[in-house]
Amino acid sequence: MIKPHGSDQLKPLFVDDASRRAALAKEAESLPSLLLNSAAAANAVMLGAGYFNPLTGYMNLADALSVADKLHTTAGLFWPVPIVNIAKDVSAIKGAKRIALRDPNVEGHPVLAVMTVDAIETVTDEQLRSMAAQIFGTLDENHPGVGTFLGLGNQVISGPIEVLNYSYFQSEFPETFRTAVEIRNEIARRGWKKVVAFQTRNPMHRAHEELCRMAQERLGADGIVIHMLLGKLKKGDIPASVRDACIRKMVEVYFPPNTVMITGYGFDMLYAGPREAVLHAVFRQNMGCDYLIVGRDHAGVGDYYGAFDAQTIFDEKVPAGALKIEIFRADNTAYSKKLNRVVMMREAEDHTKDDFVTLSGTKVREMLGNGIAPPPEFSRPEVAKILMEYYQIEDAKS
């Protein structure tokens, strides 16, 4: 199986030993506490689950600035996005060497992790804006990632952490949330030798389904890991529970047994386009995948990125040998009326726009909200049924 990024063995930061975990929980009762923001909490979950291997905790300011600017830490580790704990108010932990990190997304704010504080540093607004421009490629605060990042605060708390739980992800998505360790173990159990990952924050339509099938066939992969984001999204995105139901139904009906693994990870969407695509590759390598499908506007939002910037960054910014995982470059996929199947549009010769079944997201949402199923060439009827029920409930609320 492919090695993790930056080490021979995966080093998740979740405390697996029950007695050690209990001792840390008891210690946390007497420690100064910091209530994390959702972004920092998501980073802790990803660190705990082994997805951010080989990081041992939150980056300091020098590493964050280096990663944003040069895509590597000051020690030279390739990394595409700063993994930070930034807060507005650190008065409660000032001078503390050990602190309890509390979960903002669970009622009662239980302790999510225990942290050894290496440093608390002030990041200037100018430095924050510089990092945001490099991570997101824009300083437009209407961009959901930029707005979130610039609003986190000006205090960077760095140091190693020990993670005690996986926030709400394990309890709310028990059938779907999996750690990088668990996915590696499941790949081995299934006997898969070559694995391709598919990232999604949306329900999967026919084009997505066929893209997974194309990648598997062309790469000679044994299996596909459909890996869905379970954390916070922007307003208007479909909730994880609905996406989960759609994907499970699609796989159940349209894929052969033991060819697809449905899993999810606990992270908040950054909408960082190319940079986030590289982060996706890093943690898919950590979970044991040999390939990541990168399609049009991967991890993008609005019109902030070029259609294939998330592919070209691997050529322009990722040094040779920095990652072992490879990407499968996908074009727009759509149903061809001429060929009666889903194709990559760039590979369809003698086609005009009218030869494809294409619908805008706005049009699809409008149809579903009105109880009208999109054509079967666009969306499987079983999937459309789940989405229609969701949109009709949402429309009834408004």
Nearest to 301 by CA among 129, 81, 145, 150: 145
Q: What angle do CA 224, 230, 233 make, to 5 degrees?
A: 120
Q: Are 382 and 253 in contact (CB under 8 A)?
A: yes
Q: Are 244 and 228 in contact (CB under 8 A)?
A: yes
Catalytic one among 129, 190, 202, 213?
A: 202
Secondary structure (3-state) at 179:
coil
Question: Strands 223-229 and 291-294: what pairing?
Answer: unpaired
**Could you give the CA distance from residue 291 to residue 327 in angstroms, rounded to a whole number?**
5
Catalytic one among 201, 213, 296, 365?
A: 201
What is the DSSP annotation of 102-137? EPTTSTT--EEEEEE--EEEEPPHHHHHHHHHHHHS
For residue 108, the model assigns a pLDDT of 97
CA torsion sign for 321, 218, 256, 175 is positive
For residue 353, the model assigns a pLDDT of 87
Does the pTM surpass 0.85? The reply is yes
What is the DSSP annotation of 20-63? HHHHHHHHHTTS-EEE--HHHHHHHHHHHTTTTTT--EE--HHH
Task: Please give the backbone phi and psi of residue 59, each rounded to the nearest 5 degrees, phi first.
Answer: -75, 150
Q: Is 2 exposed, middle or buried (0-12, 13-18, 19+ CB in 10 A)?
A: buried
Nearest to 386 by CA among 225, 170, 260, 239: 239
C-alpha separations of 230 from 52, 65, 165, 267 in Å: 16, 28, 16, 6
**Could you give the CA distance from residue 164 to residue 148 in angstroms, rounded to a whole number?**
26
Is 206 considered catalytic here?
no
For residue 368, the model assigns a pLDDT of 84
Nearest to 53 by CA among 77, 27, 84, 70: 77
Question: Strands 155-163 and 119-122: what pairing?
Answer: antiparallel
Is 365 considered catalytic here?
no
| Check whether domain 18-170 has CATH 1.25.40.10, yes or no | no
Q: Are 207 and 342 in contact (CB under 8 A)?
A: yes
Chain-centre distance of CA 225, in angstroms? 13
Every domain range in the chain assigned CATH 3.10.400.10: 18-170
Task: Please give the backbone phi and psi of residue 195, each rounded to the nearest 5 degrees, phi first.
Answer: -130, 140
Across the chain, where does the E strand assignment appear? 33-35, 57-58, 86-87, 98-102, 111-116, 119-122, 155-163, 195-200, 223-229, 260-265, 291-294, 326-329, 333-336, 341-344, 356-357
Every domain range in the chain assigned CATH 3.40.50.620: 175-397
Tokens of residue 99, six digits: 């602190």
**pLDDT average per 10 residues of sequence, the chain (398 residues):** 97 98 98 98 98 98 98 98 98 97 97 98 98 98 95 98 97 95 98 97 88 96 96 79 92 95 95 97 98 94 94 97 97 88 88 86 81 89 92 76
DSSP single-letter state for residue 93 = G
For residue 357, the model assigns a pLDDT of 87
**Could you give the CA distance from residue 102 to residue 86 in angstroms, rounded to a whole number?**
14
**Could you give the CA distance from residue 312 to residue 317 in angstroms, rounded to a whole number?**
8
**Could you give the CA distance from residue 168 to residue 86 in angstroms, rounded to a whole number?**
21
For residue 398, the model assigns a pLDDT of 66
For residue 370, the model assigns a pLDDT of 84
| Check whether domain 175-397 has CATH 2.40.30.10, yes or no | no
